[in-house]
Amino acid sequence: MSRERLRATFDSAASLYQRARPDYPDELYSDLRAITGIEPPAHLLEVGCGPGTATPPLARAGFPITAVELGGALAEEARRRLAAFPGVSVITAPFEEWEPPAGVRFDLLYAATAWKWVDPTVKYAKAAALLPSGGHLAVWDAQHAFPADFDPFFTEIQQVYDEMGEGDGSLWPPPTPEDQPDSTAEEFEASGHFSVVATRRYVWALRYTAEEYIALLDTFSGHIAMRPDRRDHLYREIRARLAARPDGRLTRHWLAVLTVGRRR
């Protein structure tokens, strides 16, 4: 399925997305401000805000934020969640096509778990055009992390994915968080528009019941687009394996990689 079709699937999970997806570590926002040196009233632009997961920590700090979101249902969720922040506006539009009012520029453009879905032929040039010389672009993602002591549940359930033909063919187990490749810094530099000034990695762990974990999976594009019979089989296997555990829970580790670039 194409990037355009996959990125459109998130809107179907708008009401679930905010409840199921994790917040990002407080340290990430502290590092972002320290690296860029931004302080209110610097004007921020968020690309792909979803239901507003990454917006409140910066809005609470007093930054005015313009947030652009492709999905109408996700944008409406964000407006409800961010209604207490008068300095935040949520616009429903694809970033590739959206244009700010004449003369408006931003001090920082950031994207949380959204940058990879933006058209790669457009995003860096457009970001640079919306920033002054020396302005910053910051992007980060939230991925499944596999430290040396990761939960063996994931080895068991990976066999189910493979048997269904839903595995990605990668070697198992995946690299540990410190060895997990990330090409974002190379993309920044290759764009010709940004010089990387910092990268940071953050790892944290959350506990999930079967239903909580299934709700999380229902916010991922690959699971939303999965054939219903395969998805039902997968979820039965998840429930059965966790039902056999004394506390009925799994531990999932998360990895966020923050990349910050300065406009050339």
Contacts of 221 (CB under 8 A, 6+ apart): 6, 7, 9, 10
- Which residue is associated with the tokens 């959204």? 114
Both tokens of 45, joined, read 């632009």
* Strand pairing report for 143-145 and 249-263: antiparallel
Q: Is 205 left (phi over 0), alpha (psi -120 to 50) or beta?
A: beta
Residue 169, pLDDT score: 86
Q: Is 48 left (phi over 0), alpha (psi -120 to 50) or beta?
A: left
Residue 4, pLDDT score: 59
Q: What is the pLDDT along the chain (264 residues), one digit of tens a residue?
A: 444 554 555 566 667 777 888 999 999 999 999 999 999 999 999 999 999 999 999 999 999 999 999 999 999 999 999 999 999 999 999 999 999 989 888 999 999 999 999 999 999 999 999 999 999 999 999 999 999 999 999 999 999 999 999 998 889 999 999 999 999 999 999 999 999 999 999 999 999 999 999 999 999 989 999 999 999 999 999 999 999 999 999 999 999 999 999 999
Q: How many residues does the chain have?
A: 264
Residue 1, pLDDT score: 47
Residue 181, pLDDT score: 93
Residue 5, pLDDT score: 52
CA-to-CA dists, residue 170 to 16, 162, 165, 174, angstroms: 29, 10, 13, 8
- Whether residue 136 contacts residue 107, with contact meaning beta carbons closer than 8 Å, is answered with yes
CA neighbor of 141 nearest in space, from 260, 262, 258: 258
- Whether residue 91 contacts residue 103, with contact meaning beta carbons closer than 8 Å, is answered with no
As a whole number of angstroms, the distance between CA 142 and CA 23 comes to 9
Residue 106, pLDDT score: 97
Residue 168, pLDDT score: 87
Domains of the chain with bracketed CATH: 3-145+176-206+252-263 (3.40.50.150)
Strand segments (E) across 43-135: 44-47, 65-69, 88-92, 108-112
Residue 34, pLDDT score: 98
Q: 231-238 contacts: CB < 8 A, separation 24 or more?
A: 233/160, 233/164, 234/157, 234/160, 234/161, 234/164, 234/166, 237/157, 237/160, 238/157, 238/210, 238/213, 238/214
